[in-house]
Chains A and B, each alone.
Chain A
Amino acid sequence: MEIDRHDSRTRNQLRPLACSRNILNRAHGSARWSQGDTIVMAAVYGPKAGIRKNENPEKACIEVIWKPRTDQVGKAEKEYEMILKRTLQSICVLTINPNTTTTVILQVVNDDGSVLPCAINASCAALVDAGIPLKHLAVAICCALAGSGSVILDPTKLEEQKMEAFTYLVFPNSVLSVLPEGSLHVDGEPMEHAIITSVTHGVISVDDYLYCLERGHAASAKISDFLRRSLQS
């Protein structure tokens, strides 16, 4: 069933992706990621010596600072910081540099829908640019549920407000393996079918959510390819 999207994309079509790294010369790593009109810049400083209070000194610590476009930091920004911190902690190898702090600073340049996935993708690229040891990359996508169980990918701000629900999903990136068996399997399920992070807004049925997971996973393969090509250049 065709849904009319106001920018005439199909349901499964993502907005044009663009990623540029090493754009700030003082930061140890930096990246600018844009999905259509949503643009987020990430800068990574670290690892620096010392650790914040109440953090585990046997592991590296990640600190996230989120700067919105209009410069009023509120509860939403604190929530984004916490989600990002825990997502990035799960992809970094924290035992390599214990008792250090790596700071990731995100600046929202423009918010036109799915800003959190854009920020996660930007911070991944920035961490790679800074050379922070990572287990794998994280690829983030936003799926919105239009009525009657159909899912559209990568909604704009207008679409997010109109849809009855949307979810932000973060997957580990797909593995390109030289071995013919392909990706890493855990219990017969490939690792990239699992979610690292999920944040939902709005009420949906459980079956619709599981359908969103499938579609989101399919889209994450495309973003993984784009990320791989962009990092190789």
Chain B
Amino acid sequence: MGSSGASGNLEGEMEVDAFRRLFPLRFHERHLLESIRPDARPLERARESTVALGAVASADGSAMAKIGHTTMLAAIKMEVMTPSSESPDEGCVAIDFHMPPICSPFVRPGRPAEVAPVIAKQLSDAITSSGMINLKELSLTTGKAAWMAYLDVYCLDADGALFDAALLSAVAAFSHLQIPAVSINEDGRVVTMSREDGDGKLANDPVIKERRKLTLNCILFSLTCILHKKYILADPTAEEESVMETHVTVVLDSSSRLVSLYKPGGPVLAYASAVQDCIALTRHRVKELQKILNEAISDMEVD
């Protein structure tokens, strides 16, 4: 591939692209030998991540999270409903994850992504089992009215580490969430007051709850790693995920407890040392993400 002259350089580039398409595993391993990845990241570094709160103005809470090119948009809508008889003083959270065809060339309208319901279930398992949301806070009147929070996460660009970005956007949306004020109207039913007349005190109905933010007991962050032979790669792109098939996702909460260690099979077996390395990488990532989320929240409050 070494050549001289302008046309020779172009020929060199074409060959690298062709090599990447024809022998993707060898292309990536050649980079791993030098402890680097094709996008010039060291093995343990995650991609640049950003969080923007309030991306959807009509939702009660929303956030857009980007990890590298992977983009997730999360939005929360609150609705009043009757709580179930088994837990009359608790509200409910319904989490759904969608992969519309815009996100990836492999998703077509008639062919939904296989990974979408799996990520939806992983998200709802992580959020409910960690106790991030105290469901009793979502209750309005015991036995009669409680909040139902519908969290929808939309993938706008799928470039690897989908669960990480989805969890980040969900957590950011919950920290942005403002529960609307409610009042009881003449029929005795609980009705939400829209933002305009909530602040204006024009309504004659007694306000039983003011607008408030939800308190989060702990914040969840996650990191997906790829295990390949002796290497551990943090935060893979879609190309790396398709070539090296052993993924480990570690979810930690803000007090470093393990919420989930998810390794769904894969050709490489994980020894205890690899598990501990992945957890250490995740701890480091939790600090980075906490900083990014706090900056986004303080930016929002300044506005």
Where the two chains meet, the residues of A that have a C-beta atom closer than 8 Å to any C-beta of B are 53-54, 74-76, 78-79, 82-90, 165, 167, 170, 172, 187, 189, 191, 193-206, 209-210, 213
A78 CA / B121 CA spacing, docked (Å): 9
> In the assembled complex, how far is the CB of residue B188 from the closest CB belonging to chain A, in whole angstroms?
36
A-B contact pairs, 8 of them (CB 8 A): A78-B118, A85-B265, A86-B265, A202-B129, A203-B130, A206-B256, A209-B275, A210-B275
Task: For the complex formed, measure the closest distance between the CB of A101 and the CB atoms of chain B, giving whole angstroms.
Answer: 15
Contact (A75, B275) CB under 8 Å given A88-B265, A197-B265, A203-B129: no
A-B contact count (CB 8 A): 102
Given contacts A75-B118, A87-B265, A203-B259, 7 further A-B contacts (CB under 8 A): A78-B114, A79-B118, A189-B271, A189-B273, A194-B271, A197-B265, A210-B275
Contacts of A200 in B (CB 8 A): 258-262
A196 to B129 Cα, complex, angstroms: 23
Residues of B within 8 A of A74 (CB): 117
Query: Given that A83-B264, A201-B129, A203-B129 are contacting pairs, would A196 and B269 also be in contact in the complex, using a CB cutoff of 8 Å?
Result: yes
Known: A203-B259, A204-B257. A75 touches B264 (CB 8 A): no
Interface pair A203/B262, CB less than 8 Å apart? no
Q: Do residues A193 and B121 form an inter-chain contact, with CB atoms below 8 A? A: no
Given known A89-B265, A195-B269, A195-B270, contact A210–B276 (CB-CB < 8 A): yes
Please report B residues at the A interface, Cβ cutoff 8 Å: 106, 111, 114-115, 117-118, 120-122, 125, 129-131, 245-246, 253, 256-267, 269-273, 275-276, 279
Which listed residue, A82, A191, A203, A206, touches B264 by the CB 8 Å rule? A82
Q: Are B117 and A79 in contact (CB under 8 A)?
A: yes
Residue among A82, A195, A201, A205 making CB contact with B114, cutoff 8 Å: A82
Complex Cα distance A21/B114, Å?
A: 31
Contacts of B273 in A (CB 8 A): 189
Query: What's the nearest-Cβ distance from chain B to residue A105, in Å?
Result: 17
When chains A and B are docked, how far (Å) is the Cα of A82 from the Cα of B113? 12
Alpha-carbon distance A87/B268, docked complex (angstroms): 11
